[in-house]
Structure 1
Amino acid sequence: MSEPDETDTGDARAGSEGNSRETWGPLQGVRVLDLTQMLAGPFATMLLADLGADVVKIEPPRGDMTRDNPPHLTEDDAYGGYFHSVNRNKRSVVIDLKSEEGLETLRGMVEDADVLVENFKVGTMDRLGLSYESLSEINPGLVYAAIRGFGDPRSGESPYADRPAFDIIAQAMGGVMSITGTEESGPVKVGPGVGDIFPASLCIIGVLSALHHRERTGEGQFVDVGMVDGVLSLTERIVHQYAFEGEVPGPQGNTHPLLFPFDRFDTTDGHVMIAAPSDHQWTALCEAMDRPDLAEEYAEETDRVANADELRPIVAEWTEKRTKEEVADAIADDVPCGPVNTVLDVFEDEHFDVRGMLPEVEHADTGREVSLAGSPIKLSATPSGVHHRAPFLGEHSREVLAEYGVDEERVEALVGEGVVQEPDGGDD
């Protein structure tokens, strides 16, 4: 999900006292203003926060619209698992951008910011007087990033620019659904929100590149990633298949049009994926199956691909008599092979534990420790990581505004006018 229609208003939820800002990671000192909601934008800024940037989530009085999304540990959670997952390591400030005082407050913060990220519909920030052009006049070094369904007109005006978009729209229009599924099922969406998450990751590559450029020149710039564009780049295979051969690929299930074996196979307790397209991998698989004759008869990769329908049942007959672990023990040292894991399998696999991929963070309301998907980006000198739970709505309004140069008297006035809210603000 990417594009909220507009900034919003509403009531703040009660919160609790927050932790003081700690520093870690390679992006220490990078100040990010996060005006995003839903998944694509928050995932992008989460990546920056995990790498140590000081990400300040600027929320409307009602908060990010995903704060109430399930799952919840208790009925009256301040936020659910969805929000908790992609807003960890951030601080929250509530500013009503539908007021002139709120707009002026944000403009003042931009003076000291390095990066601003937003994922509103085309024109929303412009109508608020917060366009890239106006903010870059305030801060010429500002890196301003936008994630939209069909990109921003500044980089090329799509005929669909004004349309809203969610993950499944990007998956559909970017091509990935056209090759996902089977002939019987027709196109099927990919399980996780790759239409949000992959463009978000590309956006952060753009942001870091722009920061590198600024280090050399002092010049900020506009970073634009369209969700549909991002999905097309993820699905690059269909482009070269069509451009080189005129082929229009369709859903192919768990097989691969150019490689064999590159498939899912059943076991006695689930499924495994086996990828043995090279000659030496195929030979190792055949030896494990006690079928050296197959290695000799189908020694060439082209022969294996051409005869995949004949060979697939032979491999399947071998795996179907074994557990996932037995198949992996037999071949995984020489042949790329892995079980198809459920989330229960993930939690039981030592790999994810020792790699720090299931960190526990305090749950806001209950104090329980809950696991999140950790950061896969490992750095030896400046480690990334998950350090803090997601913030309560407006939890850090006072401390952040003070850090950005708003004096105490002004903060008091903004709070009194309802332009800025604290955790105990609103009408609850």
Structure 2
Amino acid sequence: MTLAARSGPLHGIKVLDLTSMLAGPFTTMLLADLDADVVKVEPAVGDRTRGMGPFRESDDRSQALGGYFQSVNRGKRSIVLDLKTEAGVSAFLDLVRVADAVIENFSAGVMDRLGLGYEVLHQVNPRLVYAALRGFGDARTGRSPYEAWPAFDVVAQAMGGFAGITGPLDGTPHKAGPGIGDIFPGTLLALGVVTAVRHAERTGEGQFVDVAMYDAVLALCERIVYQHSYLGVTPGPMGNGHPLLAPFDIMQTTDGWIAVAAPSNHHWRTLTEAMGRPELADDPRFADNTSRVANADEVRKVLEEWLSVRTTADVIAVLGGRVPIGPVNNAADIFADEHVRRREMLVEVEQPGSDEPVTIAGSPIKFSSTPARVHGRGPKLGEDAVESILSEWTP
């Protein structure tokens, strides 16, 4: 497959991608957006998400790429190798010899049983970065009692503490809408890979890098750790509020919902003046953030009363740019937002078998000189040849 011209910050970095589903492919998607040459190594049946969709009614299913696959596999190439055969292993090792990184998210022990674990690949290429993403990590960096457990996003959100502090005030745990139990670990692993490749460039020394989904979600929920340590509390769901800041909430207008965050005294005073209640800025119950947190229910009632008779647009007209606020956008709102267009956060890519492109989320990492960007659609299964990649990668 021919990809867009490359000029990004990871230009020249060669990555073998053995990942599937969301967490691992999100890792390698970030690297591809940053201009690494990412080659998906797939079995004959391909990544499991290839058939998941969604597809448009007009799409030719024999050629089209589903939204799930396109979104996190854009800008990559694809080869098919059977790593259970001698020929497949031989071709893979030829690529490993000239690669900078191998990334996989198999269950613990799968690559070792194939005879392709870190220790073997390190012998083949001592400067290779071997990166793994699993639910509960890898024994090489720390044993877990759950090491052999399979995991998905919702499990990581539950065990890492996220679901336990998310949801209505009645204590019912909720998972996040997006797959943060996959996406945040994938983001951290991309950082780990870049760091380890940098080290290998300086020293010639490769290494094993891994991120556990559980660990990543726990790191994301760092607040509950210090709350438990400092205060001896076990935080629960906070609704849309915050235990340490007020006002800091999502509240209803006459035609929608809006986020309002004014924990600083300056923003609180600005908010009270806009509400026509300037006396509240000096009221002892609300004079500083600590007082407002202690009286959070009263703060919420004051805001609810003011917002309940105004449209979201009216609130934005009064407070936009003065107090941290923002509407609760749905997908249609995002597609219509000028910010998203100007920041190139919606990107059209080719849909095989169709003259009509599809839209996926763009790269949020921006550079002034070496831009990150979507370099093209996802690859068709086995669209590229081992021989051509080897010829490109071999010095």
TM-based fold match above 0.5: yes
Match of 1:344 in 2: 332
Normalised to the residue count of structure 2, the TM-score between the two structures is: 0.96
Contact 1:264–1:274, Cα closer than 8 Å, also in 2: yes
Deviation of 1:404 (Å): 4.8
2: distance between equivalents of 1:312 and 1:45?
43
Superposed CA offset, 1:385-411 (max 9, x none): 012100100001253244356xxxxxx
Superposed CA RMSD in Å reads 1.3
Q: 1:279 to 1:77 in 2, by over 3 A?
A: farther
Please tell me whether the aligned partners of residues 115 and 143 of structure 1 are also in contact (alpha carbons under 8 angstroms). Answer: yes
C-alpha displacement at 1:370, in angstroms?
1.2
Asked if the contact 2:70–2:378 (Cα under 8 Å) also holds between the matched residues in 1, the reply is yes
Q: Provide structure 1 residue ranges, at least 5 long, that are not aligned to the other structure.
A: 1-17, 406-428
Q: Which runs of 4+ in 1 moved over 4 A?
A: none
The answer on 1:234 being equivalent to 2:220 is yes
Q: Which residue of 2 aligns with 1:120?
A: 106
Contact kept, 8 Å, 2:15 with 2:101, in 1: the verdict is yes
Q: State how far apart, in whole Å, the 1-side matches of 2:352 and 2:311 are.
A: 40
Instruction: Report what 1:62 is aligned to.
Output: 45
Q: Does 1:359 pair with 2:359?
A: no
Please state whether the residue corresponding to 1:129 is helix, strand or coil: coil
Aligned to 2:89: 103
Counterpart position of 2:29:
46
Structure 1 residue matching 2:91: 3-state secondary structure? helix
SS in 1 for 2:40: strand
Residue 365 (structure 1) shift: 2.1
| 1:353 Cα deviation from its structure 2 partner | 0.4
User: % of aligned pairs identical?
Assistant: 55
1:33 equivalenced with 2:16 (yes/no): yes
Residue deviations 1:271-291 (CA, integer Å, cap 9, x gap): 000000010010000000010
State the one-letter code of the partner of 1:205: L
Q: Which residue of 1 aligns with 2:143?
A: 157
Deviation at 1:250, TM superposition (A): 0.4
How far off is 1:318 after superposition? 1.1
Describe the SS at the equivalent of 1:162: coil
Comparing 299-308 with 55-64, greater Cα deviation is found at 299-308
- Counterpart contact for 1:93–1:400, Cα < 8 Å: no
Which of 326, 329, 333 is the aligned partner of 2:317?
A: 329
Shift of 1:258: 1.0
Q: Is the 8 A contact 1:119 1:148 kept in 2?
A: yes
Indicate the residue corresponding to 2:301 in structure 1.
313
Structure 2: how far apart are the matches of 1:206 and 1:230? Answer: 12
Offset of residue 257 of structure 1 = 0.9
- How many residues get paired? 388
Q: Which residue of 1 aligns with 2:155?
A: 169
Question: Do the aligned residues in 1 keep the contact of 2:11 with 2:36 (CA within 8 Å)?
Answer: yes
- Ranges in structure 2 where 5+ consecutive residues have no aligned partner: none
Looking at structure 2, the residues matched to 367 and 127 of structure 1 have their Cα atoms a distance apart, in angstroms, of: 44
Task: Report if aligned partners of 2:188, 2:211 keep a CA contact under 8 Å in 1.
Answer: yes
